[in-house]
Amino acid sequence: MIILYVALPLIVAGILPLAGRISRRIIPDILANATLLFLLVWTAVALRPLISDGPVVQQISWLGEQVNIKLALDGLSLFMLLVVSLIGLGASLFSIDYMEHYGAKASYYALLLVMIAGMNGLVLSADLFALYVFLEVAAIASYSLVAFGLEHDELEASFKYLMLSVVSSAFLLIGITVIFGVAGDLDFKAVAAALRELEAGKVVGIASAFFILGFGLKAALMPFHAWLPDAHPSAPAPISAILSGLLIKVSGVYALARVIINVFGLTPALSEVLLWLAALSMVLAAFLAVGQKDLKRMLAYSSISQVGYIVVGLSLGTPLGMIGGLFHLFNHAIAKGLLFLTSGSIQQSTGTRDLNEMGGLSKKMPITATTNLIGSLSIAGVPPLNGFWSKLIIIVALFQAGRPFLALLAVLASVVTLWYYLLIQRKAFFGKLNEKWQNVKEAPFWMTASTVILAFLCLAIGIFFSATIKTWIQPAADVLAEGVQSITGTWGF
């Protein structure tokens, strides 16, 4: 039952505030983590065989009568469900100890699960308006989660995020209206077929511009990135991990790829626009990250830069580029999730995010220092970690497509990335221990455990990259590489 991915988190979210009255901590912890663990295991074990004969479009029955809940599962949505469940679980495990001092754990987990339900619904939706509705579900939950600490900075960041997000939603709605006006339908398959028949190039161009603006804002592609460096650092660490690791990818990159590549079809002009926007993000955000003193702000700029890599790979339009882009999406989700979590461990132990105040923390927090190093090297693209392989594939794909200049830019941005991640490592963990941190201790069990799991994944995926690509990435990349054909040809009842 694919609907489970939307219904289960919502049902548990509905129960949580009541459960929170019985037990303020333990029951909410168990309920939220068990839900996410179940979804992860279900994705890894039960869903893959379901699409072995091709994509599944399910129509749900209710009391014997057909209702129009139409959900579509193909290689790409399966892959995204895996990413959502995995990072969601990592952040949720971390929250067990980290969210203790915030209070209102039941409301926190409820919002987290609504956000997960929103992302799952977005990934599974088979029409433009449902995609928009679930994008809003995830967004509304995320505004509150950014402001969860209730401090001035958090409320301000949340408001800024809300304002820019509303602009993004407006662009998306206009885009959807234009497409509905031309195609007379919102269903992906019907829209793709209608646009093909009508040959409405200009209208599709206008709609594409609205969608690129809307999803570009959600993905924080430059020049639509202004909200991210404020919003992501202000949120509690596990939420920063989900926002940077998941939300910008699901409601930005995935939605953009699904609509532009699978429904409209990637034209050379669209490809060119996206490539240059992404290249701009990749390089400029890397340089902007170098100048940051705030650890989480540096990570936020890094996210903008890495989303650039992902979109470069996807908008290249070649099968290898698609594999590289999606693989980097997976690797960045894990590594950036990990880094935001370790930043949370540091912030909780020291009470600061200022890199200049830190120093020598590896002596007091050896596990956090090690996991942070693994995450940093992974994003910077150092072998044999997972990030190395995805960046390598993107760079090879750029050369293969006759884009040596963009390939060089990707290498340059990668060198800058390594530079600022080593800066973090040096300023925070290496060197002489700052006297202020004499009494600092390693993070509590669940916080450390979740970072260790994610660091282990960075290493394991790096070593078994070939198997990972074959099992999860290739089927997803095939869906994108087939373009419109993958929806008009194989999505049926």
Partner 1 sequence: MIIQTALLIALVVFLALALLLRDLLKAAVALAVASIMLGIIFFRMGAPYAGVFEISVVAGLITVLFILTIALTKPGEDVKESKLADIVFPLFFIAFIIIDALVMKGLMRKIPAVPGSPEGAAFGDVLWKGRTLDLIGQIAVIFAGVFSVLALLRKRNKHD
CB of 134 to partner 1, least distance (A): 6
- What residue type is assigned to position 26 of the chain? I
- Using alpha carbons, select from 368, 363, 459, 382 the residue that is nearest to residue 422: 382
Stretch that binds partner 1, among 134-142, 215-223, 389-397, 404-412 (CB under 8 A): 134-142
> Is residue 4 at the binding interface for partner 1, with CB under 8 A as the rule?
no
- Using alpha carbons, select from 186, 245, 252 the residue that is nearest to residue 216: 252
CB of 348 to partner 1, least distance (A): 15
Stretch that binds partner 1, among 63-71, 279-287, 288-296, 378-386 (CB under 8 A): 63-71
Cβ nearer to partner 1, comparing 134 with 309: 134
Pull the structure tokens for residue 261.
């590549």
Cβ nearer to partner 1, comparing 100 with 272: 100
**CA 130 – CA 127 distance, rounded (Å):** 6
> Is residue 130 at the binding interface for partner 1, with CB under 8 A as the rule?
yes
CB of 113 to partner 1, least distance (A): 9
Spatial neighbors of 29 by CB under 8 A, at least 6 apart, are 95, 96, 105, 109
- What residue type is assigned to position 372 of the chain? N
> Is residue 150 at the binding interface for partner 1, with CB under 8 A as the rule?
yes
Cβ nearer to partner 1, comparing 2 with 394: 2
Q: Is 486 exposed, middle or buried, given 0-12, 13-18 or 19+ CB atoms closer than 10 A?
A: buried
Looking up tokens 């497409």 gives 179
Cβ nearer to partner 1, comparing 251 with 378: 251
265 phi, psi to nearest 5 deg = 90, 130
Cβ nearer to partner 1, comparing 104 with 423: 104
Cβ nearer to partner 1, comparing 151 with 272: 151
Restricted to residues 386-425, the positions that interact with partner 1 (CB under 8 A) are none
Strand partners, 354: 294
Angle at 149 between CA 365 and CA 220, to 5 degrees: 85
**CA 191 – CA 150 distance, rounded (Å):** 43
Pull the structure tokens for residue 202.
């200009």
Give me the 79-118 binding string for partner 1, x by CB under 8 A, dash otherwise.
----------------------xxxx--xx-xx--xx-xx
Three-state DSSP class for residue 410: helix
> Is residue 137 at the binding interface for partner 1, with CB under 8 A as the rule?
yes
Rule CB under 8 A: choose which of 45, 52, 68, 152 binds partner 1: 68
> Is residue 464 at the binding interface for partner 1, with CB under 8 A as the rule?
no
Angle at 106 between CA 103 and CA 108, to 5 degrees: 70
- What residue type is assigned to position 265 of the chain? G
Give me the 42-61 binding string for partner 1, x by CB under 8 A, dash otherwise.
------------------x-
- What residue type is assigned to position 256 of the chain? L
Q: Is 441 left (phi over 0), alpha (psi -120 to 50) or beta?
A: beta
CB of 100 to partner 1, least distance (A): 9
> Is residue 71 at the binding interface for partner 1, with CB under 8 A as the rule?
yes
> Is residue 18 at the binding interface for partner 1, with CB under 8 A as the rule?
no
Cα 260 to Cα 207, 265, 280: the distances in Å are 10, 6, 20
> Is residue 461 at the binding interface for partner 1, with CB under 8 A as the rule?
no
Cβ nearer to partner 1, comparing 140 with 174: 140
**Can you give the binding site for partner 1, defined by CB under 8 A?**
6-7, 10, 13-14, 17, 60, 66-71, 101-104, 107-108, 110-111, 114-115, 117-118, 121, 125, 127, 129-130, 133-134, 136-137, 140-141, 143-144, 147-148, 150
